[in-house]
Chain A
C-alpha cells in the first residue's frame, strides 16, 4: 500500500493540474419521466474540498454524481467549474472496477492517461500510478487474477492517470470487505492530500463519509437536506467521540426524517 511513486515520473502527472476545480451547481434538476430525481439543487464546492454525498438508495445521489461527471444531462439547471477545464479534468471511479479483462493491468491504467502522452511516456505514467496504489509488481498480470480490492486500486490508478482536478467516486468501496475498505479509504485520503483534486464521494456509509470528507451532504427526495462541515483533523481516528457524535446526528436525520 505504501510503495512510493517514482517522483520524476509523477511530477509530470500532477504539475499541470495543481489543485482542484471549484464546482458550482445552480438550480439543477433531473427528471426521468414523471419522477423528479433531483429538484432545484444548489451546491458550491470550493476547489480541493473532499465532499461526501450520502442518502438512502434512490435519493438521487448517484444521479447527481453522473451529472457532475458528464454521464448524463440535466433536465434544467447548470453545473459550472471554476478554472481551466479540459476533457480529462473530471474523472469518475465506478462502483465496479470496470477493467478491460483483455488488457493487462498496465494497459488498463493507460486507458486513463491523457491523449497528449504517447508511447514510453504513457507507460511511465501508468507505472508511476500503479506504484502509487501499491501494485507496481502486478503490472503484467491479467485483471482476472487480482482480488476485488486490487482491481479497485487499478481502477483508482486509471482514474488518476490523467491528473484529474475533480474526482467523482460512485460508491467505489461498496463491494469490498471491511478491512480492504479501510485500507482503500486511507489510500484515497493519502492520494487526495498529495494531489489536491476536488473529491466528490457518493456513499451510503455514514462512517466512511465522516472518515474522509471535509463536508457531508445529505440528499433526501431530490433535495439537499443537510450540509454539515466536518472540522476534524486528519488522519481521523475511527471511533473517536467527535466522529460518533456527528454520525449520530446524521443518522438521526437520515432515519428520523
Chain B
C-alpha cells in the first residue's frame, strides 16, 4: 500500500521515464512510510539528551535508555509479556462482547422501527452515564476479577459501535434498496448485498472510536482494580517508586494504540476497496 507500489503501473506506461522514476518513487514511498516516526524519534533523542545533561532528574522522568533497560529486564523475566498478554486478551474479549452486541442492536434498530422505538430511549439514557463512573459499583458486583474488566470494556465499546452501525444502516441510499426490491432480492440478499456494505464505512468509524475507548477503559480499570495486566504493573511500580516501569507502561499503551489503529486501517482498506476514498491513485482511468 506504499506510494511506490501503487504508482508503479503508471511508471510502466511511461517507458522514457522508467530509468529515473522508480528510485525516486521508492524513496518517496519510504519517506511516506517513515514520516510519522520522525517526530517521536526526535522527541526521544531530545529527552535522552536532556536526561544525560542532568536537566531532567531521573526520579521525575528517567532517560529513554533507562526505560529501555527496565523494559529489557521485564521482558527477560517474562513479566512484561505476561502482563501485555493479559491486557490484550481483556481488551479483545471486551471488544468482541460489547462490539458484537452493539453491532447486532445497531443493525436491528436500523432495520426495524419496532425494536428502535422500544430500545433506543433506554440506550441513549445509559449512554449518557460515563461508564467509568460505574467502577465502584462494578467492584462491588464483581470484585477485581476478570468480569469487572470485561463488563466495563464491553460497555465502553458498545456505544460507538451501536450508534455508528445504526447511523450506517439508516443512511443507506433508499434508491438502492428500492432497486434491490425491484430486482427481486430476498430480504436476506438485500441485507447482505446492499444494506450491510452500505453501512460498512460508518461501522468502521464506530470501530475506530471503540478501539480508543477500549484501551482507555481497560487502563483505568486495571489501574484501579486488578491483580495483573499493564495497568496493574504500572500501579505496582508506583508503589515501589519504579518510575522507569511506569514510563514503560505508558509508552506501551501508545504503541498498542497505534498498532490497533494500523490494523483497523488495513481492514478498512481491504473491505472498502470500492470506496473512492480508498481507491489507489493508479487505478483511475
CB-CB under 8 A for A142 and B179, given A100-B197, A103-B193, A115-B184: no
- B276 at the A/B interface (Cβ < 8 Å)? yes
For B197, the chain A residues whose CB sits under 8 A away are: 100, 102
Decide: B176 and A100 in contact? CB cutoff 8 A. Answer: yes
Residue among B184, B193, B273, B283 making CB contact with A87, cutoff 8 Å: B184
- B183 at the A/B interface (Cβ < 8 Å)? yes
CB-CB under 8 A for A144 and B182, given A100-B194, A100-B197: no
A96–B285 Cα distance when bound, in Å, is 22
A73–B178 Cα distance when bound, in Å, is 15
Interface size class of A (residues with CB under 8 A): 20 to 34
Decide: A142 and B274 in contact? CB cutoff 8 A. Answer: yes
A144–B284 Cα distance when bound, in Å, is 9
- A10 at the A/B interface (Cβ < 8 Å)? no
- A174 at the A/B interface (Cβ < 8 Å)? no
For A96, the chain B residues whose CB sits under 8 A away are: 175
For B184, the chain A residues whose CB sits under 8 A away are: 87-88, 115
- A12 at the A/B interface (Cβ < 8 Å)? no
Interface size class of B (residues with CB under 8 A): 20 to 34
- B2 at the A/B interface (Cβ < 8 Å)? no
For B178, the chain A residues whose CB sits under 8 A away are: 71, 98
- A182 at the A/B interface (Cβ < 8 Å)? no
- A69 at the A/B interface (Cβ < 8 Å)? yes
Interface residues of B in 233-281 (CB under 8 A from A): 272-276, 279
Number of residue pairs across A and B with beta carbons under 8 Å?
A: 49
Taking CB as reference atom, which chain B residue is nearest A111?
B183
Residue among A92, A98, A145 making CB contact with B284, cutoff 8 Å: A145
A115–B186 Cα distance when bound, in Å, is 11
For A145, the chain B residues whose CB sits under 8 A away are: 279, 283-285
A98–B194 Cα distance when bound, in Å, is 11
In the complex, per-residue mask of A188-222: 1 if CB is within 8 Å of any chain B CB, else 0 = 00000000000000000000000000000000000
CB-CB under 8 A for A69 and B193, given A145-B283, A145-B284, A145-B285: no
CB-CB under 8 A for A142 and B183, given A98-B175, A103-B274: no
Taking CB as reference atom, which chain A residue is nearest B285?
A145
CB-CB under 8 A for A112 and B183, given A98-B175, A100-B197, A101-B275: yes
- Give me 28 A-to-B residue pairs in the complex whose CB atoms sit less than 8 angstroms apart, sorted by A's number: A70-B182, A71-B182, A88-B184, A91-B182, A94-B175, A96-B175, A98-B175, A98-B178, A98-B179, A100-B194, A102-B197, A102-B198, A102-B272, A102-B274, A102-B275, A103-B193, A103-B274, A111-B183, A112-B183, A115-B184, A141-B285, A142-B273, A142-B274, A144-B276, A144-B279, A145-B279, A145-B284, A158-B183
**Interface residues, chain A, CB within 8 Å of chain B?**
69-71, 87-88, 91-92, 94, 96, 98, 100-103, 111-112, 115, 141-142, 144-145, 158
Minimum-distance CB pairs A-B, first 4? A102-B197, A102-B274, A98-B179, A142-B274
